[in-house]
A and B are shown apart, each in its own frame.
Chain A
Amino acid sequence: MNGQLTFHFDVDGSDFTSAGQASVQVKKDLRQLGLSPEIIRRVSIAMYEGEINMVIHAGGGTADVVVTEEEIEIILTDHGPGIRDIAQAMQEGFSTAPDNIRSLGFGAGMGLPNMKRYTDHMDIQSEVGVGTVVTMRVSIPK
């Protein structure tokens, strides 16, 4: 692969049942590039959790995926309420998701910790009332 490949998705925030469509598509695209199943799984789980977060908390947003020979970068951007205390949000089990989301199988406070667990690098830039940008990277072993 020469250069880089980019994928862009608009994540619809109005319908929880459709959340994750971008991640499913990215998984298919990465398979076509012949990357290892383990790398694909880590990228798609991290992106899926991020997508779910954007739908639950921020009314949707955008997802950009950049694939180079060295790494896969996922940038999730939303214009939601922002994260007031990032350190607290990173704690396993801490969640501000409403009860109806828990009844759908999410909102256990595992999303952000999972995203960190499955990626080699994660950075959160967030401003209350403005929005959040989450950047994650997964290295591709030589």
Chain B
Amino acid sequence: MKIGTIQELLHAELLCCEEELNREVFSACGSDMMSDVLAYVKDQAVLLTGLVNPQVIRTAEMMDMKCIVFVRSKRPNSEMIALARDSGIVLLATEMRLYEACGILYSNGLVGNKVAT
């Protein structure tokens, strides 16, 4: 699925890295706990989260993720947007809740991966 399609499906606002919207991604995960993302996620390119602080961007950077979707109308500040832009990570913001946003992406073919062991 293209990141641009994620933006359309979630009626999301694009906050940075428009040039990456054509990038294909193959899996996603949803979590507000970055420790769990660092522990269990493997090869997932999209992070959906309701958590808003710079560690979300750094966690995605460490995991080589390509896109972060902020749910529940959460908005990152300019410092976070600058960090993401520096790493080429697309930031999207949607009004949807985490469960709904994950469900829409999953039912449109963007599945999760097995838990890494």
Contact = CB atoms under 8 A, between A and B. Distances in A.
Interface of A: 16-20, 23-24, 27, 37, 41, 44-45, 48-49, 52, 92, 104-111, 113-114, 117
Most B C-beta atoms less than 10 A away, residue of A49, A105, A108, A117:
A105
23 contacts: A17-B53, A20-B58, A27-B62, A41-B62, A41-B63, A41-B64, A45-B62, A48-B62, A52-B55, A92-B39, A104-B51, A104-B53, A105-B34, A105-B51, A105-B53, A106-B34, A106-B55, A107-B35, A108-B35, A108-B36, A109-B35, A110-B36, A114-B38
Contacts, number: 65
Q: Taking chain B's interface residues, is the majority helix, strand, or loop, or is none over half, making it mixed?
A: helix
A117 B117 CA distance: 9
A110 B39 contact: yes
A114 B58 contact: no
Interface in B26-47: 32-36, 38-39
Given A37-B64, A114-B38, A117-B39, 12 more contacts: A18-B54, A19-B55, A23-B58, A23-B62, A41-B62, A41-B64, A48-B62, A106-B35, A108-B35, A110-B36, A110-B39, A111-B35
Nearest to A37: B64
A100 to B, nearest CB: 12
Contacts of B32: 105
B39 A105 contact: no
Contact of B39 (A20, A44, A113): A113
